Structure 1
């Protein structure tokens, strides 16, 4: 059975992934909670696709064990809630797993299952989207065959025409987790909003960005080998007033009952964050070495959801074709920086933009 199951297929990201897979000739099964919305999504795709209605991740885990598809793509956040039930089922059933997580904690937890995945002959992939891969690809390209960098800075500046409720749910978890950065190769707690930087963008005004605890932080740390790493994002509002109140919001959301209540409200009302304007998504990376060498690069892509869909579809297709390998990985760590190019991105250094 060569099926690829897409959990969250009625959402913005899941629908785009499923469509890309179908266009590529994959055997796709749409998975979600609402039968009517699944039927509508299947009709909009306009091809023969399977459907599975599940009540949630726990129910899906039972289906995985019973039916053993080849690949599961999890497009439902927050990943701190949806990933933990699915990983044991995928490992037990020998099913490859792919998600678009960009919250630091779920990304780290999946990567810590590397030995388990290798022993079971399964590939676990996290961060298969603009979040994680865009900055990771730049770090991989900048480092090349050089020794580990001393410092790394990465930043994500995505542009999307609309954002789903699962993105907002994941953002709540990121804010609740509080600030983090790597210092002396150790993960260091920081006040959320304390680290702010103007991110250079070629031929455009710089973009203000906050350091946030994303999966990009972990991927950049691993790819660069740097002891000091900070990851920035423009997805969290970063005005002065916002930066002042973020620590209070973080402390409140860190309380499980408060966070759970907010997540329920988001799901019940299908709340979504505001779209990020523009037609071009950017990512930025800067590496510095102990000898004073400094290199920086940018990635340019279109809509962030479209890029994410192409990344996830490409990863799943490669796993079906047997070009992956057992273990737990971020996308660049397994398939290299070229995966971003396959998904339609351009990567270039400061020399190429005359900076």
Structure 2
């Protein structure tokens, strides 16, 4: 199937969706823009010379997915949006990709593995910055240290967040963080675990967070104990500590309303100049039962632009027929060195 075959970009009018739409056109792709707001879709489609289709998640998805091979789903929070889109893709035999970084959402996609195999469909969540580079680094190290039982990942470069990303964080306010123990996802108090990582400027403290690799890395590597940490910048520290000590208050309807009000006045996302000053850094540490450890570090371009690069690179492979049916992870299908084929990526072992 030629890579020029149209695909549906659902959530096209959001911050990341618009970045993806423009990047796709620059790569010679012609996405069909999808979403629920016809006025915004029509304006973006007119600007880019693309087709658009209006569909809500509770109505019209099957019709929107007609005659497309794949959907790139970028409308979050994915905890609220992944299920209707996955179910529509299974009904219409459409391959499903998304940019989710939420472990429970990724886990939910994997619950449809057997049905996806019966339908001949690939479901691949996490094709953006989360989880492509971390997934590839984790699989690379796990193959170097056979029998690894523990994986710790540190993520840096998330200083700038879009309005949509803030809404996802707000949606999880007051909720516990997630880690994996003995192969099972478990809840822990936010901020209750810390670990040092060297992101390239010396040791820095990381705070445990819920991140997609808690789910995806398990399916890629089989490692039963997985924790993910963010570089503890001052804003993150304040947010995690507020969640830890006032979690119950943050989960009340009034607090969620106030967080939504705050989201509405935020800039829609970092400017191109702000993004140009940033980069993503991922550090992974694997350990086996004997205590032997191996560490690696991966550098990427800034996270929003890089999510466009990874998502569209995987989409092109899917449209060309390079895929495996069932629920899959990026590293498992495309290998640990896939990320090194993308511009601006550097990997080193520590």
Q: CA deviation at 1:274?
A: 7.8
Aligned Cα root-mean-square deviation (Å): 2.8
> For the structure 1 residues 303 and 79, does the alpha-carbon distance in structure 2 shift closer, same or farther, using more than 3 Å as the test?
same
> For the structure 1 residues 159 and 194, does the alpha-carbon distance in structure 2 shift closer, same or farther, using more than 3 Å as the test?
closer
Q: Which residue of 2 aligns with 1:168?
A: 166
The structure 1 residue matched to 2:180, chosen from 179, 182, 185, is 182
Contact kept? 2:340, 2:347, Cα under 8 Å? no
Q: Which residue of 2 aligns with 1:227?
A: 224
In the alignment, structure 1 segments of 5+ residues that lack a partner are none
Matched, 1:251 2:248: yes
Q: CA deviation at 1:293?
A: 2.1
Inter-partner Cα distance in structure 2 for 1:215 and 1:39: 33
Q: CA deviation at 1:92?
A: 0.5
Matched, 1:19 2:36: no
120-129 vs 131-140, greater mean Cα deviation: 131-140
> For the structure 1 residues 94 and 348, does the alpha-carbon distance in structure 2 shift closer, same or farther, using more than 3 Å as the test?
same
Inter-partner Cα distance in structure 2 for 1:180 and 1:64: 34
> For the structure 1 residues 267 and 349, does the alpha-carbon distance in structure 2 shift closer, same or farther, using more than 3 Å as the test?
closer
Q: CA deviation at 1:196?
A: 2.0
190-199 vs 268-277, greater mean Cα deviation: 268-277
Q: Which residue of 2 aligns with 1:289?
A: 288
TM-score by length of 2: 0.87
* Residue-pair matches, total: 343
Matches within 5 A, 1:49-128: 49-54=50-55, 56-64=56-64, 67-128=66-127
Q: Which residue of 2 aligns with 1:194?
A: 192
Q: CA deviation at 1:270?
A: 6.2
Contact kept? 1:99, 1:128, Cα under 8 Å? yes
Could you give the per-residue CA deviations for residues 248-280 of structure 1, whole angstroms, max 9, x where no partner exists?
44334556x468646754675566688988422
Q: Which residue of 2 aligns with 1:35?
A: 38
> For the structure 1 residues 115 and 249, does the alpha-carbon distance in structure 2 shift closer, same or farther, using more than 3 Å as the test?
farther
Inter-partner Cα distance in structure 1 for 2:24 and 2:291: 45
304-313 vs 178-187, greater mean Cα deviation: 178-187
